[in-house]
Chains A and B, each alone.
Chain A
Amino acid sequence: MKVTENKIYNPEIECMDRDELKALQLSRLQETVKLCYERVPLYRQRMDALGVKPEDIKTLSDITKLPFTNKTDLRDEFPFGLLAADKKDIVRIQGSSGTTGKPIVSGYTANDVEVWTEMVARSLTAAGGGQDDIIQVTYGYGLFTGGLGAHQGATRIGAMTVPMSAGNTQRQLMMMHDLGATMLCCTPSYAIFLGESIREMGYDPKEFQLKSGCFGAEPWTEEMRNKIEELFDINAYNIYGLTEIAGPGVAYECPAKAGMHINEDHVIAEILDPETDEPLPYGARGELVFTTITKTGMPMIRYRTHDLCTLTEEKCSCGRTHVRMGRIMGRTDDMLVIRGVNVFPSQIETVLLRVAGVAPHYQLIVDRVNSTDTLEVQVELTEEMFSDTVADVERIRDEIKEGIKSVVGIAASIKLVPPKSIQRSEGKAKRTIDKRGLTN
């Protein structure tokens, strides 16, 4: 495996003295809070309810005076209620799954696309990328931020960008091989799947030019990193992001592979005790909360990611000064990431309610078979769902399957099970069983 050259896209910012960085964060935070208070009714109502005015934000720690924002707010204000800019100034919509049937969307001004592009450019540069590279983007293109985000960043650093989008393993490997792609951007589980398919599809791993990759959009482990590095003989880097904040590139790994640097000139990260919502010191595990400080389309104040991780302020060997976040260690809610797609049990419930008329007990079983995530939805039969004819029972099953496909966006296998066969704990069903062992 080649050593990744330690390159920094924007050294002035990425290696900025922390005191200067904090001063920059404060002035940007103050602008953002003012913008939100003036332009977004929900933020104004909530700040008024707490008796906070924009001018009360005098220090960075005053951020704790501000109200939280949740994914449900994006759903409730769907699609444009949280815009701080005029609609005519929005140049892009990206989206992801909401907690129920409706997606959430985020509006980007030209400034926001620029901010996001810069973040990905930093990420790809940290992974060794530059204008000599051929970057294969195997994240899905569309509302999902993965494909377009990586695409913009790769174009920005002057690399030859190959917009493959997701799927079609044979074609992915053919292009990777024939074009001599040097970097790969996709979900880590798909990277493993691709790597394992090299020989199966008749290629010799030595014929590939790949040197590194940025992998994200789902939680993964050090074991998976080792596996990807071994399969492709490359350096595998972690990249983190979410649509509500920007997309991939909110945080990214450098060659030190010791946590992901958060782009702190664009966001302020807090770690909170999920029980008390009180700020936790560096090193403590808690819920990651972001405030955007340069976005103008749909700025986010104290957005709760529900991701559990730790932050460290220790200086990194790469020279960057921005705080690093560790791997995601779990969630404070029941969101699952399956094949890079965010899945909430409540979405499944919406489908079951529609198809079955009542909300039956159900359980999601997530596993990883041949490096690919699988979702089995076990649904307890109700009298309304059961019939003496095979066709009726299969119709119910197919309607559930199609409903999940359309609401969640991924294919699930549906297993109808007898009543009361799903284990209840303290009278409440355990909604998900994740056998992948990705979090601890």
Chain B
Amino acid sequence: MYITQISVYLENDHGTLRTLTKTLADAGIDMLGMSIADTANFGIARIVVREADFNGAITALINAGFMARKNKVLCAAVPNKPAGLDSVLAVIEANGIFIEYMYSFNYNLAGNALLIVRLSSDKMDEDAIAGILSESGVKLVSQDEVNAL
């Protein structure tokens, strides 16, 4: 139920992000979604690409000198209407699950907005977290569905 995201460490220097986008552009990678966590000292770019681009993106980034690795996140299809996101977060909150970060990206899947969430829990493993969300009516998007975007 999880999809793969690519995370990249960014130094807080002028031009670092451009180097990243140029690297992916030169490798012909189509970014489906992206977000950047910024701190005073560094940043982390999180990028969603199709499965066919995993290796190409990682290889290009590493060759360009980046620390890049894959990790698993949930992709939720959120009703594109008022209270859509709130209904998803209500489930997360009610089950005592923590949100490490989340971001939405600019694709529409059958009237739904797409939301990437990285969740954690003291009590549940990642499969249990995904299970609870599904059981509670949150529509989780598979890697295959992302690949078809």
Q: Is the CB of A416 within 8 A of B42?
A: yes
Using a CB-CB cutoff of 8 Å, which residues 31-90 of chain B contact chain A? 37, 39, 41-42, 44, 46, 62, 65-67, 69, 71, 73
Stretch at the interface among B4-12, B126-134, B141-149: B4-12
Q: Is the CB of B65 within 8 A of A389?
A: no
* A87, chain B: closest CB distance, angstroms: 49
Known: A388-B44, A388-B118. A418 touches B11 (CB 8 A): yes
* A401, chain B: closest CB distance, angstroms: 12
Q: Is the CB of A389 within 8 A of B100?
A: yes
Choose among A387, A415, A419 the residue that contacts B71 (Cβ–Cβ < 8 A). A387
Quick one: closest B residue to A397, CB to CB?
A: B41
**Bound complex: CA of A393 vs CA of B20, how far in Å?**
19
Q: Is the CB of B71 within 8 A of A388?
A: yes
What 1/0 mask marks residues of chain A from 366 to 401 whose CB sits below 8 Å from any chain B CB?
A: 000000000000000101001111110110010000
| Interface SS of chain B | strand
What 1/0 mask marks residues of chain A from 141 to 185 whose CB sits below 8 Å from any chain B CB?
A: 000000000000000000000000000000000000000000000
* A16, chain B: closest CB distance, angstroms: 59
* B102, chain A: closest CB distance, angstroms: 12
Using a CB-CB cutoff of 8 Å, which residues 384-440 of chain A contact chain B? 386-391, 393-394, 397, 415-421
- Kindly state whether residue B101 has any CB partner on chain A within 8 Å: yes
Number of chain A residues close to chain B: CB under 8 A: 18
Quick one: closest B residue to A392, CB to CB?
A: B100
Q: Is the CB of B118 within 8 A of A418?
A: no
Q: Collect the chain A residues with CB atoms within 8 Å of residue B65's CB.
A: 418-421
Quick one: closest A residue to B61, CB to CB?
A: A418
Sample of 17 A–B contacts (CB below 8 Å): A386-B9, A386-B67, A386-B69, A387-B7, A388-B5, A388-B7, A389-B100, A389-B118, A390-B37, A393-B9, A394-B39, A397-B41, A416-B9, A416-B42, A417-B11, A419-B62, A421-B65
Which positions in A face B, CB cutoff 8 Å?
Answer: 381, 383, 386-391, 393-394, 397, 415-421
Which positions in B face A, CB cutoff 8 Å?
Answer: 5, 7, 9, 11, 37, 39, 41-42, 44, 46, 62, 65-67, 69, 71, 73, 100-101, 118
Q: Which 9 A-B pairs have the closest CB atoms?
A: A388-B7, A381-B67, A388-B71, A389-B100, A390-B37, A386-B67, A418-B67, A418-B65, A418-B66
Apart from A388-B44, A394-B39, 11 more pairs, CB < 8 Å: A381-B9, A383-B69, A386-B67, A388-B71, A389-B44, A389-B101, A390-B37, A390-B39, A391-B100, A417-B11, A418-B67
